[in-house]
Structure 1
Amino acid sequence: MIRKRYVPDLQELAALCEANYVRFLKLLPDSEEGSERVFAITYDSENRAQVRIRVQEQHPYTTMLEVIQEGLSPAWIQPPSMQVRLYHDASMAEVLSYQNQHRFDGRYQYPNPQMRLPDEKVQLNRFLADWLDHCLRHGHVNIPFSFTPTF
C-alpha cells in the first residue's frame, strides 16, 4: 500500500490566518504593548475559566500576543497557551508557539521525533479559530484593558 504524501492547503491556511486576524480585531479593538484583555467563560454556576490575551510586543507591522486559558483544567492537564503574531500589512494572525513548542513547519513526515501530525500548523490555527469564536460567542469581559508598565 502506497501512502499518499500530505500536501498543505495554502488557501485554507491563509483563510484561517485572515479570519483569525479579524477575530482578534473584534476582541482587541484598541491595544498597546503591555495591555491585556480577559474574557470569562462560564459553563455553569461552579465551572468558570478565563481566556487572557496579552499584547507582548507591538511594532508598526506586527504585534505579538500571548493567549492563555486560566482555570477549569484538572491539575494534570496543562491549560492551553500560545503565542500569536499579527501581521498588520497582510491582515493575518499566525500561531507561532503552542504549549512552549516553537516553530511549526507547514508539513511533517509522520512519524517524526516530535510526533507532530503532518498538518500540525493548520490544526493549531484551526484550534485558535475555534477558541476565538468561543470567546466571541460565550465570553464576557470581566476585566477592562489595563496597562502594566514593563521595567
Structure 2
Amino acid sequence: MKKRYIPDLIKQMADCEANYLRLMRLMPDIEQRDEREFEVHWHQQQSIVRLRVEERFTYTTTILVSQSFDNSWLEAPSLVVRMYHDARAAEVICLKSRRHFRGVYNYPNALMHQKDEKAQLNQYLGEWLSHCLTHGQAAEPVYSFS
C-alpha cells in the first residue's frame, strides 16, 4: 500500500519566504516600477528574464515572471507569482495560461500533474531567481531603497 502524500508546509513556506526576498532584491522599487529585464548568459546561450507587475494592491502584488531565449525552439514557462507583503512570501499561483494549481493532486490524474506540482514550481522559481541574482545583468541599474 502506498503512503499518502503529505505536503511539507514548513519547507514550502520557507521556499515562499526566500522567493519573496529574491524578488525584492531583483526589484526593490516594485511599488514604483512595473517591469524589469535581466540578461542571463551561459555557455553560448543568452536569455532575457522579465519581471512584470500585473496587479498591485495594498497587501499583494502579482508578477509575471517570464523568460525568452534567442533562437530557441523551446519556450520556457511563464509563472504568475503572487507576493504577499504582509506575510513576506511569494508563491506561484498559476502559469501564464492561468491554469491554477492545487496544493496536492491525486496520482495518477487525468492531466498527469505530480502530487507536489505546486511545491516543485515554487522551488523552480527559487532556482530561477537565484540564477538571475548570481548571473543576471540588468539593462539599467537596480537601486535598493531599504
| TM-score, reference length from structure 2 | 0.90
User: 1:56-97: CA deviations, max 9, x gaps?
Assistant: 11111000000000114632x222211000000111001011
- Match of 1:65? 63
Alpha-carbon distance, 1:98 to partner: 2.2
Whether 1:100 and 2:108 are equivalent positions in the alignment is no
- Match of 1:8? 7
Contact 1:73-1:79 at 8 Å conserved across structures: no
> SS of the counterpart of 2:13?
helix
Contact 1:82-1:100 at 8 Å conserved across structures: no
Alpha-carbon distance, 1:105 to partner: 1.2
Structure 2, gaps ≥5 residues long = none
Alpha-carbon spacing, 1:104–1:142, altered in 2? closer, same or farther (3 Å): same
- Match of 2:86? 89
Contact 2:24-2:30 at 8 Å conserved across structures: no
* 2: CA distance, partners of 1:115 / 1:74: 26
> SS of the counterpart of 2:139?
strand
Alpha-carbon distance, 1:33 to partner: 6.8
| TM-score, reference length from structure 1 | 0.87
- Match of 1:134? 131
- Match of 2:76? 79
* 2: CA distance, partners of 1:101 / 1:128: 17
- Match of 1:36? 35
> SS of the counterpart of 2:90?
strand
- Match of 2:26? 27
* 1: CA distance, partners of 2:71 / 2:89: 30
One-letter code of the match for 2:93?
L
Whether 1:125 and 2:122 are equivalent positions in the alignment is yes
One-letter code of the match for 2:46?
R
Alpha-carbon spacing, 1:116–1:133, altered in 2? closer, same or farther (3 Å): same
Contact 2:61-2:84 at 8 Å conserved across structures: yes
